[in-house]
Amino acid sequence: MTHLRYVCAAGIAAAVALFAAPQALATDISDVGFVDQSAIGDLPQFQAARQQFTQYQQAVNAQFQSAIRGKNPSDQQAISAQFQQKVVAEQHQLFDSLFARAQTAIAEVSANKSLNVVVDKSIVIYGGMDITKDVVDAINQPGPIVPPVNSPAPSEIGFVDQQQIDALPKMKAANDTFMQDRQQLQSQLTQALAGKTDAEKPAIIQSFNQKLNDDQKSVIQPLVDQTTKAISTVAKSKALLLVVDQASRVYGGTDITADVLKALQ
């Protein structure tokens, strides 16, 4: 339920996220709710699952180290794939039912409160309806949770899956180019700093940071601008008030990913 992403210097997805995530949800949008997913993740059943998964990972890692000992690189890679499958299978075993129950609870509470879209609390500064307590109570109630019969009504809040945007060939190529340039600059910076005094180093670092920023503007920024324009154009054509990253969308909303991908082709 929680999506974390490491932002390196200025990746395409990170830059677009700044455009897509609203700074606030207006109070006149009465069908928008929000939920603190971290509070759900802190429930005892989730904590127990994480602890069990960590213990499983540690045990599997010990088995893996034993299994690859003395093996050639090709065999090690094959063994690694096998153990990775085991870890993924255990992850699904431990968490899928918990996530499904939480998602059903969110849907039930949303339907009872006539909410058409629910986002994560982290992107809300003002407005919206906090349904966290109701969702937690629903998750903790005994027995199964009955999902709502009807799907949420069409919403003026849209969402886009940035991971699919990241996967476009031109996006991947730009990110790869930028990362290669970044590594080269890092290597050059290390050489430039060798033998320099502490007083000389800040100016050298500042110079290389400027080179990195310039490289970002030439390689990454044009695609960020294209993506921002595509999202804006699609959102306006569908009369959407806001567009958020799918990582921040919890329930409901209008998926415009396919339209944005088509506009970026």
For residue 120, name the pLDDT band (cuts at 50, 70, 90). Answer: very high
For residue 5, name the pLDDT band (cuts at 50, 70, 90). Answer: very low
CB 124 within 8 A of CB 24: yes
Q: Are strands 249-252 and 117-120 parallel, antiparallel or unpaired?
A: antiparallel
Q: C-alpha angle 112/113/116, rounded to 5°?
A: 105
Provide the 8-state DSSP code for 144.
P
| 34 shares a domain with 13 | no
Give pLDDT tens digits for 176-194: 999 999 999 999 999 999 9
Strands (E), 45-144: 117-120, 129-130
| 240 shares a domain with 226 | yes
* Mean of pLDDT values over 46-61: 97
Measured distance CA(227)–CA(170) in Å, rounded: 12
The structural domain count of the chain equals 2
Out of 102, 135, 151, pick the residue that ends a domain.
151
Domain span at 205:
1-21+156-265
CB atoms within 10 A of CB 248: 21
Measured distance CA(167)–CA(173) in Å, rounded: 10
- Domain with 211 in it: what CATH number? 3.30.910.20
| 210 shares a domain with 119 | no
* Mean of pLDDT values over 86-107: 97
| 92 shares a domain with 117 | yes
Out of 88, 123, 151, pick the residue that ends a domain.
151
Out of 132, 151, 170, pick the residue that ends a domain.
151
What average pLDDT does the structure give for the chain?
88
SS3 190: helix
Residue 127 has a pLDDT of: 87
| 264 shares a domain with 168 | yes
Rounded to two decimals, the pTM is: 0.75
